[in-house]
Amino acid sequence: MADDMLKSENLPQNPERATLEGRNKFMGFWFFLGGETVLFASLFGTYLALKNSNAQGPSAEEIFGLELVFIMTIVLLTSSLTSVYAMYHMKNNDFKKMQLWIGITVLLGLIFLGFEIYEFYHYVHGYEFGYTTSAFSSAFYTLVGFHGAHVAFGLGWFLSLMIRNSKRGINLYNAPKFYIASLYWHFIDVVWVFIFTVVYLMGKVG
Amino acid sequence: MSTTARKAGFGSVLWDYLTTVDHKKIAILYLIGGFFFFILGGLEAMLIRIQLIVPDNDFLSAQFYNEVLTMHGTTMIFLAAMPLLFALMNIAVPLQIGARDVAFPFVNSLGFWLFFFGGVMLNVSWFVTGAPDAGWTSYAPLSIFSEGHGVDFYSIGLQIAGFGTLMAGINFIVTIVNMRAPGMTYMRMPLFTWTTLIASVLILFAFPALTVGLFQLTFDRLFGANFFNPELGGNAIIWEHLFWIFGHPEVYILILPAFGVFSEVIPTFAKKRLFGYSSMVFATVLIAFFGFMVWAHHMFTVGLGPIANSIFAVATMAIAVPTGIKIFNWLFTLWGGSIRLTSPMVFALGFIPTFTIGGMTGVMLASAAADYQYHDSYFVVAHFHYVIVGGTVLGIFAGLIYWWPKMFGTLLNEKLNHWFFWLFFIGFHLTFFFQHFLGLMGMPRRYWVFGEGQGLDTFNFISTIGAFLMAVGTIVFVYNMVMTQVKGKKVSGDPWDARTLEWAIPSPPPFYNFKQLPLVRGLDPLWIEKTEGNGKMQPAEPLGDIHMPNNSFVPFVMSLGLFIAGFGVMFQGSYWFLAAIGFGLFFGSMIYRSFKDDLGYHIHKEDLEDEKGDGSNG
């Protein structure tokens, strides 16, 4: 039976949920994302409480530029779509195409992260808006930084899955792993949608 | 693969426990870890009570008193009560639902080691710069201005232990949802399994709020963030909100599994089906639901305004309804039963009035207007000890004695158990009953001395005497545990003549639990087979290969990594290299785990056929 787990032929329709281990992982990860939701909700709550507490430092309206953030949003939302393509090919047992689309997802994630690092750099050096400047700055960097750290973790996750499985195809053992990595990726994408709205749009307009 | 005992060297036993993913061994680890910290927290409690035995005592310095008091609360909640509950959950839940292991054996082990290293981290503080001294609630701004690294040990140690708890919670949810034996529908699950499920859901949605609060505290203290610093726009009340959004569900995380234990013990020893099973389940879910909507009743005096205070007061009082349903259900289960006064049953009978008193003072405290009088007085101390000790701790001991045979295959000495109960129970009421009056007389909590001539002497003296009785009781219990294991007299699989699935297999169970998964025909499945069948569970599947998970040392290394990294983050400067090593170990372990296939192994059918017994009642 152990050999069956590693075979790539004749995979069932949903290889990520074909084994008990797979179903456990699938469900466990959904619950984990429930916990992550509370984590980000707490960070958002803190941010909302402190977003006007900029003390002597710059305010949200002064520093945020929507152009860059808009591009970042497009990049990250697109990466969610490409990860869906990857899962589509996983279900069709097309390993090469799956790897390709995960690769594109990782690339888009890297671009996003690069922009975010540039953005933080810009705030610190262009506006003297550091982590310790005000309660607002601490709340901002913590919320957006937590999201950025999640993106970085997701990239490492995708990369290690791609490298580990590059020499073998999709099987019942690794399909759940690919699948929950993509679930995670969707989750951080959704969190970004909220960050875009609550932090940037409300910061500019609210 | 024989289950007959083989003499193993100390080294191999140690290695076995360091790498085990077997829920029964992890239960033993939780028991040892939790009990160690329970003793530690108990010693801290004794120091507190000795300091308060006479007015103006100078047994402890004010600073040391603050540290002891903080560590008593933190240790008892996070490092004693929760792990001991996890010990009970680990031993009982997979067996009660007829599973061969938990859903994530690796994560189960990770949860334990994270708790363990988090607990060690907290207690290392004693030897470094002094323990945390801002109370177990660590309210900002006090916690921000606390000198030394005590509060950093609090925030980082609890962070690590908290991750472990979250892992354990997710593991139990998935285990219960996905791994039930054929026929074990939700409404046939034993109440302890139900309360474990609900408590795990509470853990899942409550602990991340603490995670964020602790991160903010850490960042404020170590990295100059301003969450709680009003000078730069921060707001200390955010900590209180986050702490209690976690903290209130936390008290239900502690009490619901204890309710579950009593709901197992009472039907077993009253020889009756649990009265109002479905209303018990409903009440459990309802308590959990309300548990998230009442956190601000800890903050009535903050000044949230009369509207907020009224809403939270009413919501809090509403919890008395489902809790009352439970109390009456236990009483009706006892009604007309043929009661055996075994020690777990005596604990259950002691629990009912004690917890009812605690619930009653809870309703008093829930009244926002009156709370201004009670707030931060010994009345509150008395209240939460009545519910936590009178509920959770009595539940833990009842469960421990009840499931001891399942864990070790031996039975604790009943006579000593009764001694333990009476010493502990009388000591408990002596200690805490009079604290209600101390509180109403105006004695504030957490003060290191009280003055002479304020009329507080007598009750404080009685309270300390009571604490000594509890300590003596606990010593009796420790002696009992040790002597029982030294004698090692084995008992059958079902020494209590009980009702649920875990008693259908030998004590201790074989490492694969069930040779064939049992077919569950209703609530209290073993009892059904005893009364309507031949007393043995019928198998739901033919004998076949059993898939088992591999042992792993990775959880230990991951937790050790976070432990080391914690020191680097705390001391910074030239200690940053510790953070590099620690996080390197942590993420390195994750990559290792990701790259190395872990498919587990199979026990073959032929080997199972060779085993003695039929996997049923030994």
Here the CATH number for the domain that contains residue A143 is: 1.20.120.80
Q: How many CB pairs under 8 A join A and B?
A: 128
A139 contacts B227? CB cut-off 8 A: yes
A24 contacts B238? CB cut-off 8 A: no
d(CA A97, CA A87): 10
- Across the interface, of A2, A35, A46, the residue whose CB is closest to B216 is A46
B213 contacts A138? CB cut-off 8 A: no
Q: Out of A6-15, A155-164, B286-295, pick the least confident.
A: A6-15
d(CA B550, CA B599): 8
- CA-CA distances (angstroms) from residue A144 to A66, A68, B222, B368? 15, 15, 19, 38
Q: What is the pLDDT of residue B617?
A: 41
pLDDT less than 50: residues of chain B = 1-4, 613-618
| Chain A residues lying within 8 Å of B219, measured CB to CB | 138, 142
- B contact test, residue of A132, A162, A178 with most B CBs within 10 A: A132
d(CA B459, CA B430): 9
One-letter amino acid at B272 equals K
Q: Is residue A132 part of a domain?
A: yes
B103 contacts A28? CB cut-off 8 A: yes
d(CA B105, CA B21): 5
Q: What is the pLDDT of residue B1?
A: 40
Q: Is residue A54 part of a domain?
A: no
Q: Is residue A57 part of a domain?
A: no
Q: Return the residue of B nearest to A32 by Cα.
A: B170
pLDDT band at A1 (very low <50, low <70, confident <90, very high): very low
> Which is nearest to B152 in space by CA: B528, B453, B436, B575?
B575
| Chain A residues lying within 8 Å of B172, measured CB to CB | none
One-letter amino acid at B410 equals T
CB B110 within 8 A of CB B164: yes
A5 contacts B223? CB cut-off 8 A: no
A23 contacts B104? CB cut-off 8 A: no
Q: Is residue A6 part of a domain?
A: no
**Lookup result for tokens 């810009």:** A122
Phi and psi (nearest 5°) for B601?
A: -145, 170
Average pLDDT value over all residues in chain A: 94
B207 contacts A131? CB cut-off 8 A: no
Tell me the two tokens of residue B48.
């507190």
Q: Give the structural domain span for A166.
A: 15-48+66-205
d(CA B370, CA B168): 38
- Across the interface, of B174, B209, B587, the residue whose CB is closest to A24 is B174
Distance from CA of A68 to the nearest CA of B (A): 26
Q: Is residue A102 part of a domain?
A: yes
Q: What predicted TM-score, i.e. pTM, was given to this entire model?
A: 0.95
Q: Is residue A149 part of a domain?
A: yes
| Chain B residues lying within 8 Å of A7, measured CB to CB | none
B216 contacts A38? CB cut-off 8 A: no
- Per-residue pLDDT, averaged over A129-137, amounts to 95
Buried/exposed A164-194: b ≥16 CB within 10 Å, e otherwise: bbeeebbbbbbbbbbbbbbbbbebbbebbee
- CA-CA distances (angstroms) from residue B508 to A110, B112, B406? 52, 21, 5
Q: Is residue A139 part of a domain?
A: yes
Q: What is the pLDDT of residue B18?
A: 95
Q: What is the pLDDT of residue A206?
A: 65
B215 contacts A5? CB cut-off 8 A: no
Residue A94 pLDDT more than 60?
Answer: yes
Q: What is the pLDDT of residue B136?
A: 96
B208 contacts A35? CB cut-off 8 A: yes
CB A116 within 8 A of CB A143: no
Q: Is residue A191 part of a domain?
A: yes
| Chain B residues lying within 8 Å of A27, measured CB to CB | 174, 177-178
Distance from CA of A29 to the nearest CA of B (A): 9
Taking only Cα atoms into account, the Rg of chain B, rounded to an integer number of angstroms, comes to 24
CB B170 within 8 A of CB B261: no
CB B198 within 8 A of CB B192: no
Distance from CA of A5 to the nearest CA of B (A): 8
d(CA B71, CA B251): 18
The ipTM estimated for the assembled molecules is 0.95
B205 contacts A38? CB cut-off 8 A: yes
Structural domain total, chain A: 1
| Chain A residues lying within 8 Å of B238, measured CB to CB | 45-46, 49-50
pLDDT in tens, B292-340: 999 999 999 999 999 999 999 999 999 999 999 999 999 999 999 999 9
Q: What is the pLDDT of residue A3?
A: 62
Q: What is the pLDDT of residue B2?
A: 44
